[in-house]
A and B are shown apart, each in its own frame.
Chain A
Amino acid sequence: DVKVTQSSRYLVKRTGEKVFLECVQDMDHENMFWYRQDPGLGLRLIYFSYDVKMKEKGDIPEGYSVSREKKERFSLILESASTNQTSMYLCASSFRSSRGRLKQETQYFGPGTRLLVL
């Protein structure tokens, strides 16, 4: 079974702090994703990585950065946390198909990190 783990289930930080959210997957997936989920909105893509050291911005990258130094690990960084970054953060991973058609590959999710920024 695919396992995607996230470093914390709950996190409380103060405005201005640097925050690291870690995600690890054990299935040798090429692709990894960070989403946030807010009430009344669907999951929104923050960043995506299709290989080590490679990243692409999603729909809402402002205020975030990412790091992918190893294939199994994808980190989301809030350089200076703000209250509007209080949210549920979900990490996901998927295979990159042999023909490179990312869009059909099922994404496997971690349990989420609920972040509160005070």
Chain B
Amino acid sequence: ILNVEQSPQSLHVQEGDSTNFTCSFPSSNFYALHWYRWETAKSPEALFVMTLNGDEKKKGRISATLNTKEGYSYLYIKGSQPEDSATYLCAPTTSGTYKYIFGTGTRLKVLA
């Protein structure tokens, strides 16, 4: 996996809005996809790891889906809150390697 793209690069939403962002990756040799949330001045925090096509994971108001055939994952936040403000990183891995390849992230700012 060489090209991992996350979009949008940044966005601002109002408190209470729902939002979603995308992680795109080459589908060949896919093994797993990790999502992290990175708040300013804190450590990146693991949200989800997904491996199977069609996987859906949920944690509170945050959920994620995975399409390994077309090479993308969506992260959804329902009813955004200011505490959701962070950079969201995705990191797919491929068969035969231990490496994560991180995207550049989506920077979310939730306005109160």
> Are B44 and A103 neighbours in the complex by a CB distance under 8 Å?
no
Q: Is B101 an interface residue (CB 8 A)?
A: yes
A103 x B32 contact (CB < 8 A): yes
Asked if B31 contacts A42 (CB within 8 A), the reply is: no
B36, B91, B100, B105 — which one has the most chain A CB atoms within 10 A of its CB?
B100
CA distance A74 to B102 in the complex (A): 21
| Closest residue on chain A to residue B34 by CB atoms | A106
Binding site secondary structure of chain B: loop
Q: Decide: B98 and A42 in contact? CB cutoff 8 A.
A: no
Interface residues of B in 22-44 (CB under 8 A from A): 31-32, 34, 36, 41-44
Q: Is B63 an interface residue (CB 8 A)?
A: no
Residue numbers of B with Cβ under 8 A of A are: 4, 31-32, 34, 36, 41-46, 49, 51, 89, 91, 93-95, 97-105
List 14 contacting pairs A-B, 8 Å CB cutoff, sorted by A: A40-B104, A41-B104, A42-B102, A42-B103, A44-B102, A59-B99, A103-B32, A103-B94, A103-B99, A106-B34, A107-B46, A108-B43, A109-B36, A109-B45
